[in-house]
Amino acid sequence: MFTRMLKLRLLNAVAPVYFFMATAVTNILHFFFFIPTIFPYPETSLMVSSTLHTVLVLFLMFNALGNYIMTIIYPAESANETLIPVCSPHCSDKVDAHYLLNGRHFCKLCKKIILKRDHHCFFTGNCIGNKNMRYFLMFCIYTSCTCLYSLVLGVAFLTVEYSISFENPLTFLTLLPLSVCSFFMGTISGLQLFLVLMLYVWLGIGLVCAGFCSQQMLLVARGQTWCQMQRGELVRNCSNWRANLKHVFGTRWILGLILPVQTEECSEDADGQKQD
């Protein structure tokens, strides 16, 4: 268990660094390579397209980073409990958290008691629970949109700059191995190989975030958490899916969809009364 906890703590420190590095690289590629190359001429139509793409990239990046920061600013720990609990012999969470009563967990990575804990996110370095679930979901949505949009612009850049055709559906499947072989043979540059690698990184992150967000949305609509699903617990939830979504996204949920702002004050006492 000590070795596994050490790996989890290392991942908890490395994952945020990876996220910020990937974000910085994506921004550099967008504003210094993709947009100037795809829209090179100062014509009116191209200037409008370039401006629209720039605004869209900034909007997606702003919301992804904004919700990422809000997930950290509004942690899910309880302000009323500071004692470190002792794990019971029947506890099923042996690695990263102890299950407590009334929807509370003690996370051994955060070293805090978490209200209605869903899971520990290594990319944010904290637990996801009742207070920051909305920001985490919006972070996943906008990260997925940013990655998939970057994939589209990356394909357009490779087509314009290196004359790579993606008309054949098999091109994307064979692009990476062929690019690696061509790089070691000296026929393509390191920048081209790096761009090809980033295409697969964006595709992977975009699909993973989209799939994980879809699963989390389903759990939220059911009034269930990831911890409950792992333990195989059935939730007796009297509220319908609309009420469950409103509880997470707040009353001003439309504003929360387009801006990383707080949409509703979270009541710790009310959440503490709900059974996990």
The catalytic site residues sit at 121
Q: Using CA atoms, how far apart are residues 207 and 136, in angstroms rounded to an integer?
A: 16
| C-alpha span between 95 and 107 (Å, rounded) | 9
DSSP code string of 36-62: HHHS-S--HHHHHHHHHHHHHHHHHHH
> By C-alpha distance, which of 54, 216, 4 is closest to 129?
216
Torsion region of 19: left, alpha or beta (phi above 0 gives left; psi -120 to 50 gives alpha) = alpha
What is the token pair recorded at 141? 């949505």
Tokens of 137: 């979901």
The span from the CA of 91 to the CA of 87, in Å, is 6
List all residues 6 or more positions away from 212 whose beta carbon is below 8 Å from its beta carbon.
140
Q: 181: burial class by Cβ within 10 Å (0-12, 13-18, 19+)? A: exposed
